[in-house]
Structure 1
Amino acid sequence: MLPTSFGKQETSVDVEAQIERCRRAIVDERQAAAIQSKAEAEKDSDDDDSDSDEDEEDEFPVSHELILKTHERPITSVTLDPSGTRLITGSTDCTLKLHDLASMTPTTIRAFKTVDPFATKSSATAESHSIHQVLYSPHSGNQFLVITATSQARLFDRDGEMQAEYQKGDMYLRDKHNTKGHTSEVTCCAWHPTNRELFVTGGTDSTIRIWEVSKRFKQKEVIVHKSKAAGSAGMTRITALAWAAPAGGGNTIIVAAALDGSLVMYSGEGPYYRPTAEIRDAHAKDTWTSGLDISPDGRLVITRGGDDTIKLWDTRKFTKPVQTASHPSTSSQYPTSNIRFAPNGGSVLTGSETGHLHILNPATLRPELVTPVTPGSPLITVEWHPKLNQIITGSANGRTTILFNPKTSSNGALTVMSKAPKKRHLDDDPSLTTFMDPAGLSGDAIVTPGGLPGQTNSFSARHPTIGLTASGRSRDPRRPHVPAQTPFAKTTPDERHIRESIPLSSMRDEDPREALMKYAPKPGEKSMFTGAWEKTQPKTLYKEVDSDGEEAEEEREAKRTKF
């Protein structure tokens, strides 16, 4: 009856059982009906066929799923870093959710941080806008771009701290080449495929702007798309764009779609005064082309238009579509509905208004797999990570779904389901815990011992060293005094705003004489700016003045003044 071992006992985790619980009931609706209609007597004779069906299911990582419910409103964009450990989702609730797949467990599937892109603004100018696009840098996972329904793009670091807010242009200037940034709402963005210091944005001001990461006060290049559609006065809206490099080397290409139905292609290295190729009627006019992507080899372009069509284009013959297929559009309600090439370029995936994921053959644009992800709720955004071999989708019901296959996928959702469930702790139940703010004050009222029922006092009443004085100053020595903000101070720009928004504003505190004397030559040293003219300078001559003559002149001047 003696125990076989002593000390803490670690319970083993049945990883296969946990992963099996993630298996999806229906993988392909087209094959589900055929499987049910098969007779049991034909199973033995169709062993080879069943093996081939299993091989087809393993071709796409959709056999299992992991669900993340961290938003309450539609998810407009999803992105993963190159390593596949950080997942970011953006929503119409104006927030970003940061997820760390490496630290999740089957019972702690949640975001570790919520980021408001406008949290750095003062309360007087606080605002909230829907998230249009979130895009990790493909070169490193240290930064990501955020495009909101404003005229400014924002750059964040890996932990969700804003690094830069790029310049806004003057909306009263008619010449878009002379503005330092977008003058109206930015709709899309893309990173340079090889240069980590460049990215491009497109906006409703009919411009495509190339930015340098380190220079936020002005864009590097401005491409003004002049619409040829009648009645548009040469202005239209850029709805989607992509930046890719050809597999065989050479210049990169930028492809953009506009509201007037046009599709334009530019050389990524310039010049930008005119497009390399342009298709005027790529999609129907005044329909929002929400999806656009370039194949990994840079030869094909896929677009999903607001005219309920998907079209495939060849960059070498950019005149007419190679293939056209009918597909209901959701861009009128969700303008960020996208379409993506698979990492190997052998498939195309997009969502539908019925909540299904469609995987298409790029040669024919016919569906190879149609699987339900969120039935009854439109599937807005999709992404296929090349390293994880997993598909991430975002739906209108606020649900993020990670589709994977244990045989072909790696890390990501498999890492989550391979861990033991976290044991529930007392702190996990909010009804049994008390929230403590940074100053050490309890958010809940505390009943005074011996007091009458219903009579409560604050925590500061029991501890006079913690709380506020009569003048409003904190008694806690750890908490600095925050002065009251007047209405005038709310609208007055502070030092930080001037330093971050006005170029060279730090020179206002510099003594001009000392700034110039820094460049003054030392004895025997050549001047930095005028050294080339030292030998050719003329000799300085001064006027010879007689002292007696000066006195006589003064007497004559005094007499004139007297009379």
Structure 2
Amino acid sequence: MDEEVLRDYLPASFGGNSADNNIETQIEKARRQGFAKKPEGKDDDSAGEHDGSSSDSDDSDDDDEYPVSHELVFKTHDRAVTSITLDTSGARMITGSTDCTLKFHDFASMAPNTIRAFKSVDPTATKTSANSETHPIHVAKFNPSSGSQVLVITATPQARVLSRDGEVEFESVKGDMYLRDMNMTKGHVSEITSGTWHPTNWDRFVTAGTDSTLRIWDVNQRAKQADIIVHKSKQAGAAGRSRITAVAWGSVTESTNTTLVAAALDGSLLMWGGEGPYHRPVAEVRDAHKSDTWTSGVDISPDGRLVVTRGGDDTIKIWDTRKFKSPVNTVAHPSTSQQYPTSNIIFAPNSTAILTGSVDGSLHILNPATLKPELVTPVTPSSPLITVQWHPKLNQIITGSANAETHILFDPKTSTKGAVSILSRLPKRRHIDDDATLTTDYNSLGVSGDAILNPGTTSEAIQTSTYASRHPTIGLTASGKSRDPRRPHLPAQTPFAKSQPDEKHIKERIPFSSMREEDPREALLKYADKAQNDPMFTKAWRTTQPKTIYADASDEEEEEQEGGARKKQKT
């Protein structure tokens, strides 16, 4: 009897699927509203014949063409998500936000109940100051070669290239703001607004700044930019300068040439040959968009023939690089660039569609020829959709919104890896220690962590700190460091070394370091006898130095001197 009870109590297998943890059910829960599941064993054509309506068949075609039937939500930021990038393999995703942090996500390490970032990095925080300034993230882009480097543009005059793990590998120099001629400065003198990688030469990237310049950098040259393009605005009262708001760098099919396109605050749209010379633009449209409106999005089609722009004048325009004088088509679209200057617009990987967000939180998929919407689907209602990406290998659409949410839209039939791989795993088993109400933490003194209460400390705060102490990957600081109290204390970092040198290192490596703790007077008197007996500088004149001769005083003079001295003492 006891064996039967024990057998019923113990699980029959470990890690197997149960009724509550079925993979198909798990993926089905991620289905978005408005995208009903198709009946099994029926094709789209047969369904259209039975229904007799073309609208149903159109919806089914959209479901197959665009991966938007399911979604997975990431809530790893505290403020609006302004930039999203994925490496070429689709294994790692980095999101940037106005909370001044980059969040690193690995799809291979996440499960449906552990969707979180494994690392948080502030690229502008200095290592020498605990109260360093932080700046919002404008752009974060993986290098298109292998995804080993990430270009990060923040609200500073310096661009940074980070490694795959968030370490700064390259930092552009800051220009001299007192120089009026921008051709003479070695870097940007004011905030950088946008940037992107070279499409074929992956050691180069371009940055656009509010100092009316585009600067091309080489990661192997840190002293100054490789090339500089100065935009001289012809707008009245602009003093020859205008902020560059967006930039795109694309390649031309069946050719080694590239195209560089940028938009300025004065409403102009400029195009250069990507390999130079950059003295003057190949084509320029002065009134591409309304002056003094922020054109936040510029993108070039994969074949290099079309350019799409999203202006702050509530319009979307598409241009032909071969006839760049006037737009091919224009459509009205409410802009979000006034609040979120990094609102983008992109071409689909196969150039069959154009993607952008809207003020009401909907994803708009437009026809590249007519700019008419092929599909409009709400993602974050009542919260503006800021940034959009479509990964060609995963076939998944990633969106970032003002409510700090990152949504991954996918279709289980056509999408691979990414969000599909996360939902294809069983939820990780939760340990009893994960519940802070059932366990108590201990500190180095050997007493319960719940036994010591500071004035004003709530039980919720205690549970939060207890849970974070057991999970070092949860609750990271702004610089990505763990709040785990068990982590050993790290010495403060100095500008001269990565760690504070200890006393032994100072005595062994730094000459005369022991003299700093010695009394200066005693140190000098130590050499008094040696200086008198064996002088170093006057030793050459010791034998030739003449003897000093003084006049001998008589007895009367000595008596007079002694008497005068006595009189002075009496008075």
Letter in 2 for 1:258: A
Is 1:144 matched up with 2:150? yes
Percent of aligned pairs with the same amino acid? 61
How far does the alpha carbon of each residue in 1:332-379 deviate from its partner, in whole angstroms, 9 at most, with x for none? 011010001000001001000000000000100000100000000000
CA shift for structure 1 position 272: 0.7
Aligned 1:176-195 pairs, distance under 5 A:
176-195=182-201
Match of 1:11 in 2: 16
Letter in 1 for 2:185: T
Match of 1:21 in 2: 29
Aligned counterparts of 2:442 and 2:340: Cα–Cα separation in 1: 40
Is 1:200 matched up with 2:206? yes
Aligned counterparts of 2:435 and 2:413: Cα–Cα separation in 1: 37
Aligned 1:447-466 pairs, distance under 5 A:
none
Contact 2:440 2:450 in 1 (8 A): no
How far does the alpha carbon of each residue in 1:246-275 deviate from its partner, in whole angstroms, 9 at most, with x for none? 012131110000000000001111101111
**Equivalent position to 1:344, from 350, 363, 369:** 350
CA shift for structure 1 position 166: 1.3
Aligned 1:159-558 pairs, distance under 5 A:
159-430=165-436, 482=491, 494=496
Match of 1:122 in 2: 128
Aligned counterparts of 2:182 and 2:188: Cα–Cα separation in 1: 8
Aligned counterparts of 1:358 and 1:314: Cα–Cα separation in 2: 22
CA shift for structure 1 position 428: 2.9
**Residue 316 of structure 1 aligns to a residue in which SS?**
coil
> Cα RMSD between the aligned structures?
2.9
Larger radius of gyration: 2
Letter in 1 for 2:382: G
**Equivalent position to 2:140, from 131, 134, 140:** 134
Is 1:58 matched up with 2:64? yes
How far does the alpha carbon of each residue in 1:98-119 deviate from its partner, in whole angstroms, 9 at most, with x for none? 1111211000011111111133
Match of 2:473 in 1: none
Count of residues in correspondence between the two structures: 448
Aligned counterparts of 1:282 and 1:243: Cα–Cα separation in 2: 18
Aligned counterparts of 2:152 and 2:446: Cα–Cα separation in 1: 36
Greater CA deviation, 403-412 or 157-166? 157-166
**Residue 301 of structure 1 aligns to a residue in which SS?**
strand
Letter in 2 for 1:392: I
Letter in 2 for 1:330: T
Contact 2:442 2:449 in 1 (8 A): no
CA shift for structure 1 position 406: 0.9
Decide whether aligned partners of structure 1 residues 227 and 415 sit closer, same or farther in structure 2, where only a CA change above 3 A counts. Answer: same
CA shift for structure 1 position 434: 6.7
Letter in 1 for 2:23: V
Contact 1:27 1:371 in 2 (8 A): no
Aligned counterparts of 1:271 and 1:87: Cα–Cα separation in 2: 35
**Residue 109 of structure 2 aligns to a residue in which SS?**
coil
CA shift for structure 1 position 52: 5.1
Letter in 2 for 1:11: G
Match of 1:78 in 2: 84
CA shift for structure 1 position 159: 1.0
Contact 1:435 1:442 in 2 (8 A): no
Contact 1:434 1:443 in 2 (8 A): no
Letter in 2 for 1:54: S
Aligned counterparts of 1:275 and 1:267: Cα–Cα separation in 2: 8
Contact 2:362 2:377 in 1 (8 A): yes
Decide whether aligned partners of structure 1 residues 287 and 479 sit closer, same or farther in structure 2, where only a CA change above 3 A counts. Answer: closer
Aligned counterparts of 1:366 and 1:60: Cα–Cα separation in 2: 16
How far does the alpha carbon of each residue in 1:151-197 deviate from its partner, in whole angstroms, 9 at most, with x for none? 00011111111112211111001111111110000010010101111
Match of 1:518 in 2: none
**Residue 340 of structure 1 aligns to a residue in which SS?**
strand
**Residue 19 of structure 1 aligns to a residue in which SS?**
helix
Aligned counterparts of 2:161 and 2:319: Cα–Cα separation in 1: 32
CA shift for structure 1 position 57: 1.5
Letter in 1 for 2:34: I
Aligned counterparts of 2:439 and 2:391: Cα–Cα separation in 1: 40
Letter in 2 for 1:328: P
CA shift for structure 1 position 48: 7.8
Match of 1:548 in 2: none
How far does the alpha carbon of each residue in 1:418-439 deviate from its partner, in whole angstroms, 9 at most, with x for none? 00011112343355667789xx
Aligned counterparts of 2:103 and 2:446: Cα–Cα separation in 1: 28
CA shift for structure 1 position 54: 1.7
Aligned counterparts of 2:168 and 2:205: Cα–Cα separation in 1: 17
Contact 1:288 1:331 in 2 (8 A): yes
Decide whether aligned partners of structure 1 residues 419 and 282 sit closer, same or farther in structure 2, where only a CA change above 3 A counts. Answer: same
Aligned counterparts of 1:443 and 1:344: Cα–Cα separation in 2: 62
Decide whether aligned partners of structure 1 residues 395 and 274 sit closer, same or farther in structure 2, where only a CA change above 3 A counts. Answer: same
**Equivalent position to 2:118, from 112, 123, 137:** 112
How far does the alpha carbon of each residue in 1:46-94 deviate from its partner, in whole angstroms, 9 at most, with x for none? 2886455322321100000000011121111111111111111111111
Greater CA deviation, 235-244 or 121-130? 121-130
Decide whether aligned partners of structure 1 residues 363 and 482 sit closer, same or farther in structure 2, where only a CA change above 3 A counts. Answer: closer
Decide whether aligned partners of structure 1 residues 269 and 427 sit closer, same or farther in structure 2, where only a CA change above 3 A counts. Answer: farther
How far does the alpha carbon of each residue in 1:492-529 deviate from its partner, in whole angstroms, 9 at most, with x for none? x64679xxxxxxxxxxx9xxxxxxxxxxxxxxxxxxxx
CA shift for structure 1 position 214: 1.9
CA shift for structure 1 position 124: 6.4
Contact 1:138 1:191 in 2 (8 A): yes
Decide whether aligned partners of structure 1 residues 447 and 199 sit closer, same or farther in structure 2, where only a CA change above 3 A counts. Answer: same
Decide whether aligned partners of structure 1 residues 62 and 482 sit closer, same or farther in structure 2, where only a CA change above 3 A counts. Answer: closer
**Equivalent position to 2:164, from 151, 158, 165:** 158
Contact 2:62 2:375 in 1 (8 A): no
Greater CA deviation, 189-198 or 42-51? 42-51
Match of 1:530 in 2: none
Structure 2 residues not aligned, in runs of 5+: 37-47, 453-486, 500-509, 511-571
Aligned counterparts of 1:443 and 1:392: Cα–Cα separation in 2: 47
Contact 2:348 2:354 in 1 (8 A): yes
Contact 1:192 1:200 in 2 (8 A): yes
Contact 2:399 2:406 in 1 (8 A): yes
Letter in 2 for 1:117: P
How far does the alpha carbon of each residue in 1:216-241 deviate from its partner, in whole angstroms, 9 at most, with x for none? 22110011011111110110001000
Aligned counterparts of 1:268 and 1:177: Cα–Cα separation in 2: 19
Match of 2:522 in 1: none
Decide whether aligned partners of structure 1 residues 433 and 318 sit closer, same or farther in structure 2, where only a CA change above 3 A counts. Answer: farther
Letter in 2 for 1:161: E
Match of 1:459 in 2: none
Contact 2:251 2:259 in 1 (8 A): yes
CA shift for structure 1 position 446: 7.4
Aligned counterparts of 1:324 and 1:139: Cα–Cα separation in 2: 34
CA shift for structure 1 position 302: 0.1
Aligned counterparts of 1:6 and 1:188: Cα–Cα separation in 2: 56
Match of 2:75 in 1: 69
